[in-house]
Amino acid sequence: MKKVAISLVMLGMILGFSVPAILAGEGKIGGNLKLYLWDQSGGTSNGDVRDDRGTPGISSLYMYISRELNEKVSIDVQPTISVSTRATPRIGTKIGAQRTATSVSVGFVKAYLKCLLPYNVEISAGVIRPLFTEDYGAQLFYEEELHGNCASANSRLGEWKDFGAELYKVFEVENVSIPAYLYFLNGNNYATDDNNAKMVMFHLAPEVNLGNFGGLKVMGSIATGMYDTNTVPIKPVIRYSAGLAYTWRNLWVRGEYMNGTWSSWTEGKGWTDGVARDILTNGYYVKVGYNITPKLRIIVDRAVSVYNYYQDAAGKYVQSPETTMQWIPSINYFITEDSILIFQYIIHDAWRDDGNASLHYSRGTLGWRTTF
């Protein structure tokens, strides 16, 4: 209760500072509330058959607060209150045993200042979601599903939250629009920085209007930097992604591939044999969606992630690949344009090549997401 109270007080302070500007007509405020009406999983973990308890509850409350300071400068803040029960089954743990007491945390989805520069270049600085992948960075998954998939909503693959600066400009060539993004990032996270992990990222997303044949978008990112500059030699990291999105009438298809290499990894408790080696990750997702009616949409998501390691109970890295595969069909029903009932069903299979652990479960979730 104490954590909940502190969270509400902090949110109240944020809103309190914003209300005068809003009443003066100088700003905007809104939010996004996500509830789970039912969430239950069951399956096998290391051969143990078990069902998790089904529960309803609140998941998160996002706020959107923005204000234009003048015609060139604006500020956007998106604080969030998140509620976690660790309901997602984890490989190496019995289903249901991964749950902990409900925890409440306050954070930021975004919090940045934006300025319009000459030649129609925009610069944003602060807490940002870099567009390493569009499924996560542009929050597309949040509008389509209740739980992100194992590839794009994965800190080793498609997920990225950071503090830094973004330069953005759109180039136009006949019927092709080319949005371009350049990022200078902490490389760690938005809350702390020990100047030990700077990153540079470039994202390009050209779009082509094909007329009666729909629209095509090509997406690509490359990021490089150092994840450890304290040791000699310094340790580089490189990550990249590539994807396609196609829309035609009521049908759309989108997919992205992600890859990452952290060279000579020795962080944390290191490897079980004491030898430094590269961390290698790769994965992809493909989504197909169809709007049956203006109020009813179906989506099928296929996602795969592969690591060349796993962490044992002591937190040490084990040199053995771990693979996760998911099928995620979803049904979206639009009560209104901004209020959606979502039923999502996850079929999840994960295993370690050395036979140490396996996890196979299905998870049904009925949720309600409303933007206001």
Q: Which pLDDT value is given to residue 195?
A: 52
Alpha helices in 107-260 (DSSP H): 134-137, 140-144
Contact 11, 63 (CB under 8 A): yes
Per-residue pLDDT reduced to its tens digit, 296-318: 999 999 999 999 999 998 999 99
Q: Which pLDDT value is given to residue 189?
A: 54
Q: Which pLDDT value is given to residue 7?
A: 43
The pTM score is 0.88
Confidence of residue 246 (pLDDT cuts 50, 70, 90): very high
Average the pLDDT over each of 57-61, 162-166, 273-277, 334-338 and give the range with the smallest value.
57-61
The upper half-sphere exposure of residue 109, i.e. CA atoms within 13 Å in the direction of its Cβ, equals: 20
Helix (H, G, I), strand (E, B) or coil at 89: coil
Confidence of residue 1 (pLDDT cuts 50, 70, 90): very low
Contact 35, 368 (CB under 8 A): yes
Name which of 86, 103, 78, 84 is nearest 6 in CA terms: 103
Per-residue pLDDT reduced to its tens digit, 115-157: 999 999 999 999 999 999 999 999 999 889 999 999 999 999 9
Per-residue pLDDT reduced to its tens digit, 314-328: 999 999 999 999 999
More confident residue, 326 or 23: 326
With vertex at residue 225, the alpha carbon angle to CA 317 and CA 229, rounded to the nearest 5 degrees, is 70
Q: DSSP letter at 144?
A: H
Confidence of residue 352 (pLDDT cuts 50, 70, 90): very high
Residue 252, Cβ neighbours under 10 Å: how many?
A: 18
Range 194-204 average pLDDT? 81
Q: DSSP letter at 9?
A: H
Contact 342, 72 (CB under 8 A): no
> What is the C-alpha to C-alpha distance for residues 82 and 60, in angstroms, rounded to an integer?
4
The winner for highest mean pLDDT among 82-86, 225-229, 237-241, 266-270 is 237-241
Range 23-33 average pLDDT? 72
CATH C-level class of 2-371: mainly beta
For the chain, which residues make up each domain, given as ranges? Answer: 2-371
Whether pLDDT at 8 is above 50 = no
